[in-house]
Amino acid sequence: MTLPSQKVEVIFCDVGQGDATLIVSKNWQMLIDTGPKNKKVLNCLENNLPFWDKKIEVIMVTHGDSDHAGGLEDIKKYYKIEQEIYSKNVKQYDVIKNNLITFEVLNPEDYVKESEDDNKNSIAGILRYRNPSVSSGQVKIFMAADIDIETEQRLVWKGVLRQGYGTLGSGVDILKVSHHGSKNGTSEEILNILKPKMAVISVGVKNNFGHPTKEVLDRLKIKNIKVKRTDQDGEVHVIDVIDNMDKVDK
């Protein structure tokens, strides 16, 4: 890429067994997670940013697991980071935005310092931006990080995620599947609320965890949700996915 695109682009990077999502809005970039310490996130940045742009405006690390945060050190060797966001310094309903993009934090409700499972503290929320290619005029993506079924259900039962409310509205276009397709995430309850047309699974080829699990793939299939996987498709570009999706009417 030599010139920044005039459209918002969202790229689910192929970082192996881990997560990294790059959001590009002209000369402004946000990176959600950095993948593991294998330098693959650098390939994604090089592929999708102008070679002269060595500044990333926002990096959000959803939680401290190495497959989500391990690449941060390498990124800092080559890029200046203006703002770093961690689950310890955000709270529910905080909003990160520029003039085109909004990310509303829906989890964690309260950061639990002594939590034995850091996945419960993962930053999860709704990424939203304008796009005339969809009937609603905007794209909505639920970024699930590694939240588990219990956390998903709590968001639904407490009404944080409910139809017709706030950023969620009547649903989302795309779900970034929780925890690489682990059976402990992507519950039926959250699928019923989010109603995504497509799911993206960030996962490594022949990983040691059996991700994505048959349970999750079956849940998505039953609801007729299209699936993209980084282990099979490489980088997943939402701008291309949206242009080729059936008409969205939400």
Q: Over its length of 250 residues, how does the chain's per-residue pLDDT go in tens digits?
A: 445 566 899 999 999 999 999 999 988 999 999 999 999 999 999 999 999 999 999 999 999 999 999 999 999 999 999 999 999 999 999 999 998 899 999 999 876 665 667 889 999 999 999 876 666 778 999 999 999 999 999 999 998 988 766 667 778 999 999 999 999 999 999 999 999 999 999 999 999 999 999 999 999 999 999 999 999 999 999 976 666 565 443 3
CA atoms within 13 A of residue 157's CA, in its CB half-sphere = 8
Based on C-alpha coordinates, what's the Rg of the chain? 17
Contact 73, 48 (CB under 8 A): no
Q: Provide the terminal-to-terminal Cα distance of the chain, rounded to the nearest Å.
A: 33
* Domains, the chain, with CATH or none: 8-244 (3.60.15.10)
E strands, the chain, are: 8-12, 21-25, 28-32, 55-61, 80-86, 95-97, 101-107, 124-130, 138-143, 174-176, 198-201, 226-229, 236-237
Q: Is the peptide bond before 212 cis (omega within 30 degrees of 0)?
A: yes
